[in-house]
Structures are given as structure tokens and as C-alpha cells.
Amino acid sequence: MNAPIDYTIDKHNRITALSDSWHQFYTENGGTQPSDSFIGQDLFQSIAGKEVQMLYGTLFRHVRSTQVALTFPYCCNSDKVRRDMVMTILPQAHESLTFSNAVQSITPWGKIAEVVKPKLPAELMLCSWCNKIKADTWLEPQIAILKYGLFESMDTVKFTHGICPRCQTRILSTLTFPESAKSSTTKDNQTRSKCA
């Protein structure tokens, strides 16, 4: 199959259109329910795992807010083969998004064991404010996806939530403390630094 496998969602993430190549891909891969039954369905019903849903949600917000297409590699596997694919998320009018997917390679599972894959970190931290991702350094989500191959690997990555230094500084600078709290915070910090 050489034609891009395309589908579109509206601003509420409901599927509004499926290309002929999507229908063909679905049927060739054992899809049993009528493919048109996906129209109107929330796309997140088809995305497994809260962490993956969270990442996709971040990417959707990024593309909608910047109006710039985003392309990244990922895997779409079956019980017989590993499919290395590339997805492009394209902004459309009225906050709709079109997903254009292209198969890059298909490898039978027996040959996968011969390929040496880089090891993902066991845990990645996600900034709860800006959604940057950290393993060794803080990165924009789309950069982290490429660097760590988050959608390419079969490994399970755990996410923990925290705050990056930039957001921590920004948020703390917006807080106002009563004078009594400022002096007690300063004393607490001085005590901690003496104990350290």
C-alpha cells in the first residue's frame, strides 16, 4: 500500500473522515466491524494507554495552537509484522486535524530479534505545566518523541509528573507571600542549607 492512510478529526477529537486507503488498511488487517462505524467516534477510544493518550493530546494542542504540521515516526504492529510508519498531523480549519500515515517498512516478527534497539529510559518526567519531557534533559514533547522513539518502541515507558526549572521559576515568581511567610521561608531555607 503506497497511498497515505488518512483520517480527520474535529475540534472535539471525533473522527469525521476516513480515506479509501484507511478503509483498505483496516480491512487488510482483519478489521471486522463496518469501518464507517468509526465516524463520530472519539479518536481517544482507539488509543491504548493513558500515557499515550496524554502524549497525543499534547501533540494535538501543539498543532492546533501553532497551526504547524508535525511529523514523527511510530509503530503500528500486527500479530505477524512490525510496521514502521510516519505520521503527519496537519492543522485544518475550525481546529480539525488530518492525520496522514505512511508505511516505511514492514518486518516479520522473526527478524525483529536480530535488530539491536536503543533502550528507552524506564521513566520519563512530564512537566505538569508546559508538558516538556525529561529523561536526561527537558525537551519539547515533539523532540522527546523523536529522540526516544516513544511511538516506535514496544517497551513500556512510565511517566511521572513534576515541574521543570523554567516553570518552577515562572510560577514561584507570580506567587505573593505575606511578610511572615517570607521570613519563615527564608529561615527554613537557611536551616536546610546548614543541614545539607
Q: What is the CATH number of domain 116-178?
A: 3.30.1490
The long-range contacts involving 79-83, CB below 8 angstroms and separated by at least 24 positions, are: 80/108, 80/109, 81/106, 81/107, 81/108, 81/109, 82/106, 82/107, 82/108, 82/109, 82/112
User: Can you give the residue ranges of every domain in the chain?
Assistant: 1-115, 116-178
Alpha helices in 29-140 (DSSP H): 50-66, 109-112
Percent of the chain residues past pLDDT 70, beyond the cut = 78
Determine the length of the chain: 196
Q: What is the pTM of this model?
A: 0.61
Q: What confidence score (pLDDT) does residue 42 get?
A: 95
Mean pLDDT estimate for the chain: 79
Q: How confident is the model at residue 88 (pLDDT cuts 50, 70, 90)?
A: very high
Instruction: Report residue 9's pLDDT band, with 50, 70 and 90 as the boundaries.
Output: very high
Reading the block at residue 101, the C-alpha cell is 500515515
Question: Out of 23-32, 87-96, 137-146, which region has the weakest mean confidence (pLDDT)?
Answer: 137-146
Predicted confidence (pLDDT) per residue in 122-136, tens digit: 788 888 777 788 877
Cell (9 digits) for 62:
501543539
Residue 191 confidence (pLDDT) above 70: no
The pLDDT score that the predictor gives to residue 122 is: 75
Task: Answer yes or no: is pLDDT of 108 > 70.
Answer: yes
CATH of domain 1-115: 3.30.450.20
